[in-house]
Amino acid sequence: MAPSSESAFPTIKSIARINSLDRKNEETQFFDCEFYPYTAQGVDPVFAVVGKGETIVCRLGKTEESGIEVLRWFKDDDEAVSLNSCTWSQDLATGDPLLCVTGQPPSIKIFNVKTGELLRTLIGHGKEINDLAISPLSPSILASASMDYTVRFWSLDPAHEAQPCMLICGGEGHKEGLLTLAFHPSGRYLLTGGMDCVVNLWTIPDLTNEVTRTDKPTIIHYPHFSTSAIHTDFVDCVAWYHDLILSKCANENKIILWRVEGFDSSSSSPSPTSAPTTHEFHPTRSAFGGTYQRLLQFEAAETTPFYMRFSLFCQPHKRPILVIGNEKSKVFFWDLQSLEEWDDNRDSEDADRSKFKIPQARKGIARKIVKQREVSIASTTTTTTTTNTGSSLGPSARTQCVDETENLIEGSSRASLKFAVDDPFKSLLPHRTHVVPKVTFAARHIAWSVGGEWMIIAGDQGMMAVFTRQV
């Protein structure tokens, strides 16, 4: 049974500033953070942050005094290195944790975190790499998105060391550099977004099948869905919410929830030959029998610079939480399940609150939206060197971090601004807002632990904020 919406939101536990290892640069800009995903819920979580030439692996303790313990600190000797992305893998033979890091120059380094050894370096992209992701199908399949307009899929299996690149998605997919990518939970589809304002959906062949593997990378020239009609600027973050899509771009100050019409991950994958070509220009091209439907948008104030990314916690039997940090130390949360549970018939401040009980069975948010809109108004174009600046925040400080005006139970007119799903162009206000105290910094990336007990925000000035909750 999912917890109540009120308890779904984490509270801030501590904040810390991590200086560079050599202390030459006191304000490392962290661009990415990721928890190690191959661990049991409840185990003290391990996470990594990257920025400039530094990769730092940390562990969180459960007690107020334990704080953040640094386990590994990798410092690149090349002063020109600028890291922006990391993702975790696992050695299939030994089970050792592997950490993949990248940025500029366009190479991917694979570290064994247990031994501290640099295992290998993957080279192939022609320009800066901006995002990494491990396939849900296997920890040995790594995808990378680059400014050279392509996505490359790599095998981390030592047996493929001579030719690690298995697949390249490029050709006519993007016309400018890529900033973000995301695997569908099935592993059969991949989203990409880039500086051309385009979101593409690629169908991925079975890369786990050794029988079909060749000595040369397979090349996919066309995505099965492509649109430039959702966003107006650099698309810097995409994610799947089941079969729905969440995406964000620079300068819009919002996150958009939408769906590809006709797309159903439970159906058979479309054939490679059904991918639409670019011989004639269309803002939206699709092999799934429709275009797209815009569903909702979420207000994310002061998130105009690109490379400020949202995060979605979505695990079975737990409330899905969308979160993003902004330039002014604010953190915005939305409980997506509450959008399905919201009773739109709250007509007045004095409405009978007994009518607003949570339903026993969840209704899909997309189904609810479609049902409400008889005529769609969707846009459908056919221990260590750490400096704590306030760690172990006491209860009073934590209370001050919460905007108390953001209570979930309030007047219907105010609450409808947060929960009503009748208008896809009306931004929903955050369900909860936290302010990270004592410092002003831009949040670049947010990561959740496996069970959702912990949340980390990494950003400018070497800042990290630690949030926790009961699950």
Min mean pLDDT across 30-39, 109-118, 346-355, 393-402 is at: 346-355
CB-based contacts of 103, cutoff 8 Å, min separation 6: 31, 50, 81, 82, 83, 84, 85, 128, 129, 130
pLDDT for the residue 26? 59
- Calpha distance 145→321 (Å, rounded): 26
Residue type, 159: A
Is pLDDT of 370 > 90?
no
**pLDDT mean over 110-123:** 97
User: Tokens 């997506």 correspond to what residue?
Assistant: 336
pLDDT for the residue 6? 65
pLDDT for the residue 57? 97
Q: Which helix (H) or strand (E) holds 338?
A: helix 336-341
CB-based contacts of 223, cutoff 8 Å, min separation 6: 169, 173, 192, 200, 201, 202, 203, 275
**Phi-psi category of residue 175: left, alpha or beta, with phi > 0 → left and psi -120 to 50 → alpha:** alpha
pLDDT for the residue 394? 53
Residue 357 buriedness (CB in 10 A; 0-12 / 13-18 / 19+): exposed
pLDDT for the residue 377? 36
- Residue-wise pLDDT for 226-276, tens only, equals 999 999 999 999 999 999 999 999 999 999 999 999 999 999 999 999 999
Structure tokens that stand for 266 in this block: 């439970």
**pLDDT mean over 384-394:** 43
pLDDT for the residue 409? 42
Q: In what order do the strands lie in the sheet with 129-134?
A: 129-134, 141-146, 151-155, 165-169, 218-220
End-to-end CA distance of the chain: 11
On whether the CB atoms of residues 179 and 234 are closer than 8 A, the answer is yes
pLDDT for the residue 373? 56
Q: pLDDT-based confidence at 87, cuts 50/70/90?
A: very high
On whether the CB atoms of residues 1 and 415 are closer than 8 A, the answer is no
pTM, 2 dp: 0.88
Q: pLDDT-based confidence at 216, cuts 50/70/90?
A: confident
Sign of CA dihedral 131, 132, 135, 136: negative
On whether the CB atoms of residues 202 and 192 are closer than 8 A, the answer is yes
Is pLDDT of 68 > 50?
yes
Residue type, 431: H
Min mean pLDDT across 155-159, 258-262, 333-337, 358-362 is at: 358-362
Is pLDDT of 386 > 50?
no
Residue 26 buriedness (CB in 10 A; 0-12 / 13-18 / 19+): exposed
Is pLDDT of 363 > 50?
no
Structure tokens that stand for 28 in this block: 């490392």
pLDDT for the residue 63? 58
On whether the CB atoms of residues 226 and 257 are closer than 8 A, the answer is no
pLDDT for the residue 130? 97
- Residue-wise pLDDT for 278-295, tens only, equals 877 889 999 999 999 999
pLDDT for the residue 366? 72
Q: pLDDT-based confidence at 405, cuts 50/70/90?
A: very low
On whether the CB atoms of residues 247 and 237 are closer than 8 A, the answer is yes
pLDDT for the residue 279? 77
**Radius of gyration for the alpha carbons in the chain, expressed in angstroms and rounded:** 22
- Calpha distance 195→448 (Å, rounded): 27
Residue type, 412: S
Q: Give how far Cα 244 sits from Cα of 27, 38, 148, 263, 399, Å.
A: 37, 25, 27, 9, 34
Q: pLDDT-based confidence at 208, cuts 50/70/90?
A: confident
**pLDDT mean over 170-174:** 89
- Residue-wise pLDDT for 333-350, tens only, equals 999 999 988 876 554 343
Sign of CA dihedral 443, 449, 450, 453: negative
Taking the CA of residue 255 as centre, how many other CA atoms within 13 Å lie in the half-sphere pointing to its CB?
Answer: 30
Give the residue from 285, 286, 227 showing the smallest Cα distance to 256.
227
pLDDT for the residue 212? 54
Is pLDDT of 103 > 70?
yes
pLDDT for the residue 104? 96
- Calpha distance 266→219 (Å, rounded): 25
